[in-house]
């Protein structure tokens, strides 16, 4: 993966040491993560640049569209588990994505209508759709924060408008952490978020794998995504990580069965056909 390059959405403070987040520029001529994902899910909120980038990746990885669908299905099952068996009534969903079927508050509030959900994203297109569509059940509440995940201070202080951080919170980071390069301290970001929530809180995370494909295909995919960033065809740089590197996000936590697996393998609903092999590791962990 390319390193040493400043990805879109990140600037450096005048002091030069701390990285400060800023909003993702609105530019439909350059593909971005939320709209590529929307295209892979069969949505309509994408542009020619997003479709071209997605199609280029699909040529290498035909299971790309399956991967997006399987991730969305994992979101549904994980939130259902968290609101159901785990009894979570507060969610901090970072990397909301363009709203589609089965958004976090809908799944959770179908089980417990009083659930409070705070959504966070830094993409202005997501922001516009989310404000219009992510409306709560009247017994619960939703809020939407326009912030970069790297700015954990803003995320946590604004989330506290709706969430009570003295009570357990389910933090969901689904298909977002691969958009945080190593230089931006992805493990530190997750640790800061999990330090802010009490014992009994949960983390659900899914992440693009660097060890899910054969070596040659993986290398071609990473070269393609690097090249697209360099040629300014996509806004975000992706960092693919191994299963072991993804496990590190859950340091000090107890993993819920079946542990760290591909998204389609996490508590599949009985009778669900396999349908493909995804490129995403995932897990749900409990803070002891």
Ligand X SMILES: C[S@@+](CC[C@H](N)C(=O)[O-])C[C@H]1O[C@@H](n2cnc3c(N)ncnc32)[C@H](O)[C@@H]1O
Cα separation, 129 vs 170, whole angstroms: 23
Query: Interior CA angle at 115 toward 113 and 121, to 5°?
Result: 125
Q: Does 119 bind ligand X (CB under 6 A)?
A: no
* SS3 category, 149: coil
Cα separation, 8 vs 31, whole angstroms: 12
Question: What Å distances lie between residue 280 and 175, 207, 212, CA to CA?
Answer: 8, 5, 8
Cα separation, 178 vs 199, whole angstroms: 26
* SS3 category, 74: helix
Question: What Å distances lie between residue 246 and 101, 203, 209, CA to CA?
Answer: 27, 12, 8
Q: x/- contact string, 143-162, with ligand X (CB under 6 A)?
A: -----xxx------------
Task: Report the residue number whose CB is nearest to ligand X.
Answer: 97
Among 43, 95, 99, 181, binds ligand X (CB under 6 A): 95
Q: Does 264 bind ligand X (CB under 6 A)?
A: no
* SS3 category, 273: coil
Q: Does 8 bind ligand X (CB under 6 A)?
A: no
Interacting stretch for ligand X, rule CB under 6 A, among 111-119, 161-169, 175-183, 239-247? 175-183
* 208 within 8 A of 280, measured Cβ to Cβ: yes
Total interface residues for ligand X by CB under 6 A: 22
Q: Does 174 bind ligand X (CB under 6 A)?
A: yes
Query: How far apart are CB 45 and ligand X at their closest, in Å?
Result: 11
Query: How far apart are CB 78 and ligand X at their closest, in Å?
Result: 10
Query: How far apart are CB 143 and ligand X at their closest, in Å?
Result: 15
Q: Does 190 bind ligand X (CB under 6 A)?
A: no
Place of tokens 């159901």: 84
Among 45, 50, 121, 222, binds ligand X (CB under 6 A): 121
Restricting to residues 15-44, which ones interact with ligand X according to CB under 6 A?
Answer: 33-34, 37
* Binding region for ligand X (CB under 6 A): 9, 33-34, 37, 71-72, 75, 95-97, 120-123, 126, 148-150, 174-176, 179
């Amino acid at each position: 993966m390319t390193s040493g390059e400043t990805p879109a959405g990140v600037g450096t403070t005048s002091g030069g040491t701390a990285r400060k987040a800023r909003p993702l520029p609105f530019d439909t001529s350059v593909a971005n993560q939320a709209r590529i994902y929307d295209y892979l899910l069969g949505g309509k909120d994408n542009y020619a640049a997003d479709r071209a980038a997605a199609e280029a990746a699909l040529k290498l990885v035909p299971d790309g569209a399956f991967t997006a669908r399987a991730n969305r299905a994992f979101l549904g099952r994980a939130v259902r588990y968290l609101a159901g068996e785990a009894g979570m009534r507060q969610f901090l969903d970072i990397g909301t994505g363009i709203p589609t079927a089965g958004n976090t508050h809908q799944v959770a509030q179908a089980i417990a209508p009083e659930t409070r959900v705070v959504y966070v994203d830094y993409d202005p297109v997501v922001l516009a759709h989310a404000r219009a569509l992510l409306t709560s059940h009247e017994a619960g509440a939703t809020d939407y924060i326009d912030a970069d995940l790297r700015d954990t201070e803003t995320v946590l202080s604004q989330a506290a408008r709706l969430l009570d951080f003295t009570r357990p919170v389910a933090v969901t980071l689904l298909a977002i952490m691969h958009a945080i390069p190593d230089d931006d301290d992805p493990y530190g970001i997750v640790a800061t978020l999990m330090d802010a929530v009490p014992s009994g809180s949960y983390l659900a995370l899914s992440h693009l794998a660097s060890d899910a494909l054969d070596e040659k295909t993986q290398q071609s995919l990473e070269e393609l995504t690097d090249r697209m960033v360099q040629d300014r065809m996509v806004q975000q740089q992706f960092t693919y990580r191994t299963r072991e590197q993804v496990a590190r996000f859950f340091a000090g936590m107890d993993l819920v069965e079946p542990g760290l697996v591909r998204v389609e393998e996490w508590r599949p609903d009985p009778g669900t056909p396999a349908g493909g092999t995804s490129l995403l590791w995932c897990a749900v962990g409990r803070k002891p």
